[in-house]
Structure 1
Amino acid sequence: MVEVVLESQHPPPPSFKIGTDDDWMVEWRRCKDDDPEWPVIQSEVSTAPFPFLLRTREGWYLEPDPLHSLARRLIAPTVSLLILTLLVHSMEPGLVKIGFLSEAIAGSYRIGLLDYPKMLLVAFPIFLLPIVSRMVANLRDIRRQNAYIESPLESPVISLVNERNGVR
């Protein structure tokens, strides 16, 4: 067991305890009056993530599903297609009159009390592709994350050497 006092100029993080007393344990708390004289270590304390965690997704993070990347790449083209379809639909009478647009794809289908443009019935499902692929990717990520959580890691093997200047 190693017990030390950590002194820092920065405000400490909240108290926490990981592990159990009969196994490996890490505990962070304020010093108490009845604590014995423990070795003192001067160090910087911060709650900010380590820089290597900010610039990489390695370590205990799971790789994101490749569908996320596909969904991001699909957003701009599908939104552009939807806007173009709505623009063409707004100019449809003039485009049909000059012969630029065929009567077969111009016009609307009446479903119930509403009219739905024919081109929009094709463009809107394509517009939904990034949303649906993102939902599928999130569900696959959650499934992989739950599988990762259900198979816990073995207890770590830690060795410490007590030196005159502190713990190494």
Structure 2
Amino acid sequence: MPAEDEYQGRYLAHQRRKAAVLAQILAERHSGRRFADRPVGDGDLEPLLDAAARAPSSCARRGVAARVVRGRDATALLGGLLVGGVGWIHRAPAVVLLVADPVAYKAGDEVRFMPYLDAGVMAQDLMLAAAAAGMASCFVNPAVREPNRDFFTARFCAGGLFCGAVAVGWPWEES
């Protein structure tokens, strides 16, 4: 095996540093359902939404979009509609809804599962970006109470297929 030149050595050291940073982010990543009373601005969300938009998707369709919901009234409404958000989601400064365009999933009955897989990858990338930014996040499953489904879809999804959500905010710090 040939000896490593100085350029290759720097490159390999850089790769090891990147791997260490990713390993640290993965180790620190956890679900946070308590958030500080600190707003999440557009600039705070931008790298998270960029990470979600760049996430791999089935057949490179990019059939799932991220829609940001903010404001106490809107997040409280989500808390009443989403089974997984009961009792806590209203405290999130921002909730990113993952909404699929069913037209993007045409082969057979793949609309039953592929949008959820794509949304899961998006959610994971978004949550890793949140951890890298020092933010807390938590995935919210796509279950909506049966009597509220039509209202939820009309209010938040506009013809799309709701595939889950990620609540995002600055971490709660106990005094």
Pick the TM interval, shorter chain: under 0.3
TM-score by length of 2: 0.19
Greater fraction helix: 2
TM-score by length of 1: 0.20
Q: Answer with 1 or 2: which has the greater Rg.
A: 1
Structure number with the bigger relative contact order (C-alpha 8 A, sep ≥ 6) is 2
